[in-house]
Chain A
Amino acid sequence: MAQNRIDVRLVRKAQEGDKRAREVLLRRLEGVLRMFFLKRVGRSPTIDDLVQNTLLRIHGGLEVLRDPGRLRAFAMKAALFELQDYYRGRYSPKEVLCDPDAMVAVSSAQPKRAGAKVDLERALSILTPHARRILELREYGFRYKEIARALGTTETAVKMQVKRAMEKMRRVFAT
């Protein structure tokens, strides 16, 4: 395939220290990555960061790519790693608020919920497998819209599941 031949030659040159080849290669990959991240996360200001971070991964790892003909797999994995990191960091500002340790402090300040820390195991056992799966996906870093798509349902239905599960738990804990 012509594309492969071009990439192999470019990768080899880039690995040998040809700055121009490296620049051309990365610019070529930038277009693919931009298209990919646009498809996965939609139009967002974070696209530029995702593309640049992935290019950095590729730039940094190019020397260890033994078979230049495997550039596609190499770039694909770099993009998938970046996407996973993006999901993990998506709600990072809230991680402080939702820190389980911080939770203990909140619980102890509210006598009615003082048993919350102890009862978290119980709370999780109250959840239906479906509701628990939704919460797991949420904490993995997905948005409700994405969860709905993965589960083949609507965003509204997903949100209602979460709300009902929480209400159920609150009722149980109130008794």
Chain B
Amino acid sequence: MHDPPGSLSDDGQLTLEQGDSLERDPLMMGIRGQIRSGLAAALPDRRLFVLHALASAGYADELSDMELAEVERSAEAIKSATASFSALEGVAAGIVKDREAFITCWERSARVYRLFPSGVWRIAATVVVLIGLGVLYALFTGGDQRVVAVSDGASQLATLPDGSTVLMVGDTEMRYDAENFARHITLDGSAFIEVTRSDAPFTAVTQDAVVTVTGTRFGIKSADGVTEVVLERGSVSVAARPAPDQSVALHPGEMTSVVRGSLPSAPMPVDLVYALDWTGYFFFNATAMSEVAQVLASRFGIVVTLDEALKQEQVSGSFAPGDAPEQILSVLASTLGATVEGSVRTGFTLR
């Protein structure tokens, strides 16, 4: 998404308007400096804060006796720091999420190591594995297994060999054979997929479900034993992995979910504006302009004012994650025969 004029870039510098510089403003520097020195004084040892966060979240058993004693000794100081800096509560929650991420990585790694058991079986197992690898090599001769991974909070658009695109959002991993691409991907995480039309079906496989399509756009989220599929356009069939022959068909604007070990739920209608909000796309389908204005205001942190006559007008269409609010409003205004005035800083008015 483009930074609006006058906004802050990610490294903390402002995208400046003609010499204006909030980041270099002595007032801003002073406030930031004061908060930083206050934090440093209240929380001189972040290691202790990590231990507190873990203990408070019920993971005290992962702390050594010495660490538990440290936690007890510093309880008052941490309590005082959290009272002074309300953001620390959120930081502690983030530390617990970091712990969960680490455990996930550990377990994924463990799955690989379990291929190599200990003891006298090791040599025999290695031979078996080597034979297995040989078979796999024969199956995928010349194959080029690609793994595309996106970290938590980031997103990446990947284009597959058949031209289909996959917008991976958040902690997501996709695998496919780039050289002998048979329109088949495996996915762990969340993605919005736009499949090019072809007679050959396209399959997206998660740990729990198999989604088969021909040409379509859909969102898929796979985490913690649940896969959710939301269809934006076209048609898809969704099945649980253990029962690929018992699928449900989705129509645009419908969602189904597959809980591990269960059949897909009956399709249910959803509002795409909200059901696919996580993709960064905007999907409007006969959506009232008053609601469109609210969605844009919330997403971009801007003010959008509508002329009374425009509020009940309905619009349909989609906008990509990179589209700036000015662009979106210009297109909408043009569709409605209206004009748009203003900026991100002052707010927009459509009349």
Contact = CB atoms under 8 A, between A and B. Distances in A.
A62 interface: no
A88 interface: yes
A156 B26 CA distance: 23
B91 A81 contact: no
A20 interface: no
A166 interface: yes
Contacts of A85: 46
A21 interface: no
A154 B87 contact: no
Contact of A133 (B1, B32, B87, B298): B87
Contacts of A76: 62, 99, 102-103, 106
A35 B105 CA distance: 6
B118 A2 contact: yes
Contact of A98 (B36, B103, B300): B36
B113 A103 contact: no
B143 interface: no
Interface residues of B, number: 71
Contacts of B93: 150
B95 interface: yes
Interface in A137-160: 137-140, 143-146, 149-151, 153-160
A6 B125 CA distance: 15
B29 to A, nearest CB: 5
Say which size band chain A's interface belongs to: 35 or more
Contacts of A81: 46-47, 50
Nearest to A85: B46
A66 B153 CA distance: 36
Max chain B Cβ within 10 angstroms of own Cβ: one of A39, A72, A73, A75: A39
Contacts of B108: 35
A66 B26 contact: no
Contacts of B29: 97-98, 102-103, 106
Nearest to B109: A32
A106 B26 contact: yes
Nearest to A33: B105
A3 interface: yes
A113 B30 CA distance: 11
14 contacts: A41-B151, A42-B154, A72-B103, A87-B46, A106-B29, A117-B30, A120-B30, A123-B27, A123-B31, A133-B87, A136-B85, A138-B32, A149-B152, A149-B153
